[in-house]
Amino acid sequence: MFNIERWQEIFETLSKNKLRTFLTGLSVASGIFILVILLGFGEGMANGIKKEFEDDASNRIHVWTEVTSKEYKGLNPGRYIQMENENYEYLAKKYEDDLEYKSAIYRIWQGAVNYKTESGSYRIEGVLPDFQFIENAGITQGRFVNYMDQDGFEKVVVIGNKVKQEIFKNEEDPIDQQIQINGINFKVIGVYTDPGGDREESRIFTPISTAQRVFNGANRIRNLSFTLKPKATFDETLEASEQFVEEMQQYLKQVHTIAPDDMSAIGTFNTLEASQRYFGLIGNIKFFFWFVGICTIIAGVVGVSNIMLIIVKERTREIGIRKAIGAQPWSIIGMILHEAIFVTAIAGFTGLIVSMGLLEIFGPYLEIPYVINPSVNFNVALSTVIILILAGAIAGFFPAWRAVKIKPIEALRDE
Amino acid sequence: MIQIKDLHKSYHMGSNSLHVLKGINFDVKEGELVSIMGSSGSGKSTLLNILGMLDEADQGQYILDNVPIKNLNEKIAAKYRNEFLGFIFQSFNLINYKSALDNVAMPLYYKGVKRKERNDTAMHYLEKVGLADWSHHLPSELSGGQKQRVAIARALASDPKVLMADEPTGALDTKTSYEVMELIQGINDEGKTILVVTHEHDIAQMTKRIVNLKDGLIIDDKKVQQVRASEYV
Ligand SMILES: Nc1ncnc2c1ncn2[C@@H]1O[C@H](COP(=O)(O)OP(=O)(O)OP(=O)(O)O)[C@@H](O)[C@H]1O
Ligand SMILES: [Mg+2]
């Protein structure tokens, strides 16, 4: 390995056979290049899907109601189910130890909002203080609603970033300004951002007590939203959340006189259950890219073996000459392997650096749906280069061994 | 220098076997210039290849410079070839991507000689064969006669005990052949033992001894009055 004479001999051979060296290198470099780009995109897709789940807390349980679909205890199907404050209070109390965040929601779908000359129509949501965490909302100015607002029926609002841009034109500080919703004055106490983007940021939050009183909601609520305290493992958490959903449904069906087998009256969405599916999907995507990647590597190995086979065959006569003038068999095998390893290593690392460089430089700017910041684990990429080098060496060894076994007299025979 | 006794060699091809050498007895003393003649297929090349350790005999005794050559493994054969022998082939067998100088230096590389010394020695032998000015040319840029002279320089480079030439003039025209023979005679004059396989009588007459092979046996072995190639050039 560290024999200068050998290195000189190899550099000479490689530089005097430029085309052969270049083609071998190209096939190795492009194999690595394709693999890294593929794995990078697999990672990017996984990132993209994960992002979809960031807008809400990932263990959120959301409840809504619809009309009944079955006749029960003399009540006709088609009856609209309306949840009320005591439903929320019962559940909040009963599951106090299990719940992490909890909120009831009363909603005005289209609230007419006015500020000075500006106006717009936004969803108004009456919520409880915990709702900030259920929504994954970040406060950029002021604060979110708190229990003092709730208990005092305060007419205060937390507006979305988008609302702020549209109504306040970004010019003024909206905090402590008065806006009118359906003609009633509210004081802005905070601005929030939401990873869900514009759609999620064009809402206005106010205490649910205020919303019910001001917008004639009485004690009606539209939704329940909960998150459960996480357990030790994902599976335990999932199991607990499924059980909670089951018990909650039973309770709601019972108090609202709904047939136990009526599947449509109470709607629930368990993010955890959905995310379990999505994590499965991410796993599948990664598996797919790995599969394609490994196929690429295999193709690369086959390619390198082929090239080695051709190179050795092409050099049979040269090997015969070298042996006739006194080359030891192992020195010839060593020379061929040394060349092969040197070329695949240089080419492999070139492919690695170029592809990782491309991902590093252009990855963050890439705008493809569901692909975010494609990148690749350096160790993984490095291992594949090493695998390819080893494969090239092994692939080169056998033809070299065979060529050396040929008697010089046969290698030198004129065709 | 060379002693062989009762040398046999057969080639096996499937169920057929061809008995090529049928008991050769043959001695060569140091400083001799011997030509091996015979019709095509008589076993000349086979004999030379065995003497050159490029191939192995089935049976018989071979002593080279008092070293019995038997049970050769690849490693030892390579070592002996490198130390004892220099080859000159009909088709030159130069490495086509290496310059004349590098080709001549090759045996020294395998002998473990350092680069600087290797190149000096190689240059010395290229001068000897009159190709000093062509040292950096590739074989493809040389004429047949020049290639063969490079090959001769290469065979001499490791200062072997015996030179083995299988039809060294076979691919050359008459004039060039005589030039090559003149060179070989000059090398022999300096004391090197040389074996030349040929089927050309004029070439054989330029050696000092002619061995005639027929059907795997030596039928004639006589000393001749050497014709100096320089008379023709
Ligand atoms: N590797 C081999 N396998 C089988 N038969 C062979 C082999 N090498 C040579 N022969 C046969 O052995 C015989 C002698 O061959 P050899 O090459 O020694 O002849 P030669 O005297 O050198 O002939 P030429 O003057 O044509 O070169 C020939 O009949 C040839 O066909
Ligand atoms: Mg022959």
pLDDT reported for residue A292 = 83
**A60 in a domain, yes or no?**
no
Q: How far is CA A347 from CA A10, A253, B153, B165, B210, in A?
A: 16, 67, 38, 43, 57
**A339 in a domain, yes or no?**
yes
Query: Which is higher by pLDDT, B34 or A278?
Result: B34
Number of domains in chain A: 3
pLDDT reported for residue A148 = 94
- Is residue A364 located within the same domain as residue A309? yes
User: What does A253-311 look like in DSSP terms, one character per residue?
Assistant: HHHTT--TT--SSEEEEEHHHHHHHHHHHHHHHHHHHHHHHHHHHHHHHHHHHHHHHHH
User: Domain spans of chain B?
Assistant: 30-58+72-231
pLDDT reported for residue A321 = 92
pLDDT reported for residue A170 = 66
Query: Which of A318, A325, A407 is the closest to B110 by Cβ?
Result: A325
In contact, B196 and B35? CB cutoff 8 Å: yes
In contact, A402 and A311? CB cutoff 8 Å: no
Name A9's Cβ contacts closer than 8 Å, sequence gap at least 6.
A335, B109
Q: Give the other-Cβ count within 10 Å of A234's Cβ.
A: 14
Q: How far is CA B193 from CA B27, B34, B206, in A?
A: 12, 8, 14
- Is residue A286 located within the same domain as residue A406? yes
**A394 in a domain, yes or no?**
yes
- Is residue A391 located within the same domain as residue A318? yes
**Residue B233, pLDDT above cutoff 70:** no
**A271 in a domain, yes or no?**
no
Considering just the CA atoms, what is the radius of gyration of chain B in Å? 17
Residue A232 burial by Cβ neighbours in a 10 Å radius (0-12, 13-18, 19+): exposed
In contact, B200 and B169? CB cutoff 8 Å: yes
- In percent, the amount of chain B with pLDDT more than 70 equals 100
User: What does A198-225 look like in DSSP terms, one character per residue?
Assistant: HHHHSEEEEEHHHHHHHTT-TTEESEEE
In contact, A183 and A214? CB cutoff 8 Å: no
**A62 in a domain, yes or no?**
no
Report helix, strand and coil shares of chain B as percent, to nearest 5. 40, 30, 35
Per this entry, what is the length of chain A?
A: 415
CA B47 / ligand 2 centre spacing (Å): 9
pLDDT reported for residue A230 = 82
How many whole angstroms from its chain centre is CA B39? 19
3-class secondary-structure state, position A380 = helix
Domain boundary (A240, A264, A288) is at A264
Which residues form the pocket of ligand 1, taking CB atoms under 6 Å from any ligand atom?
Answer: B 11, 13, 18, 20, 38, 40-46, 199
- Is residue A130 located within the same domain as residue A194? yes
In whole numbers, what is the pLDDT of chain B averaged over residues?
92
Q: Give the other-Cβ count within 10 Å of B25's Cβ.
A: 14
B59-64 sheet: strands from edge to edge:
B16-28, B2-13, B59-64, B67-68
- Is residue A92 located within the same domain as residue A163? no
- Is residue A401 located within the same domain as residue A294? yes
In contact, A61 and A245? CB cutoff 8 Å: yes
**A142 in a domain, yes or no?**
yes
pLDDT band of B190, cuts 50, 70, 90:
very high
Mean pLDDT of B171-179: 90
Q: Best interface-test mutation with A: which of B11, B110, B125 has the largest number of A CBs within 10 A? A: B110
- Give per-residue pLDDT as tens, B143-162: 999 999 999 999 999 999 99
- CATH number of B30-58+72-231, picked from 3.40.50.300, 3.20.20.450, 3.40.50.920, 3.40.50.1370: 3.40.50.300
Nearest atom in ligand 1 to B46's CA: 18
- Is residue A138 located within the same domain as residue A224? yes
Top mutation candidate among B21, B42, B90, B196 for ligand 1, by most atoms within 8 Å of CB: B42
Kindly list the residues from chain B whose CB atom is less than 8 angstroms away from the CB atom of residue A321: 93-95
- Give per-residue pLDDT as tens, B51-65: 998 888 899 999 998
Phi, then psi, of A283 in degrees rounded to 5: -55, -45
Top mutation candidate among B9, B11, B22 for ligand 1, by most atoms within 8 Å of CB: B11
- Is residue A282 located within the same domain as residue A391? yes
CA B11 / ligand 2 centre spacing (Å): 15
Considering just the CA atoms, what is the radius of gyration of chain A in Å? 34
Strands B33-38 and B209-214: parallel
How many whole angstroms from its chain centre is CA A42? 10
Q: How far apart are CA B177 and CA B233, in angstroms?
A: 10
**Residue B17, pLDDT above cutoff 70:** yes
Name A28's Cβ contacts closer than 8 Å, sequence gap at least 6.
A300, A303, A304, A343, A344, A347, A348, A351, A388, A392
Q: Which two tokens stand for residue A342?
A: 């040197």
Verify whether the Cβ–Cβ distance B110 to A16 is below 8 Å: no
Verify whether the Cβ–Cβ distance B115 to A8 is below 8 Å: yes
What torsion do the CA atoms of A314, A317, A322, A324 make, to the nearest 10 degrees? 160
What torsion do the CA atoms of A9, A10, A14, A15 make, to the nearest 10 degrees? -50
pLDDT reported for residue B171 = 87
Q: How far apart are CA A224 and CA A244, in angstroms?
A: 13
Name B214's Cβ contacts closer than 8 Å, sequence gap at least 6.
B38, B39, B42
- Is residue A221 located within the same domain as residue A238? no
Q: Where are the alpha helices (DSSP H) in A78-127?
A: 85-94
**A270 in a domain, yes or no?**
no
Verify whether the Cβ–Cβ distance A325 to B89 is below 8 Å: no
Per this entry, what is the length of chain B?
A: 233
Residues of chain A with pLDDT below 50 are: none
Nearest atom in ligand 1 to A410's CA: 1
pLDDT reported for residue A95 = 94
Domain boundary (A264, A289, A319) is at A264
**B100-111 vs B74-84: helix crossing angle, rounded to 10:** 120
- Is residue A308 located within the same domain as residue A393? yes
3-class secondary-structure state, position B156 = helix
- Is residue A46 located within the same domain as residue A142? no
Mean pLDDT of B87-105: 93
- Domain membership of residue A110 as a residue range: 106-228
- Is residue A250 located within the same domain as residue A286? no
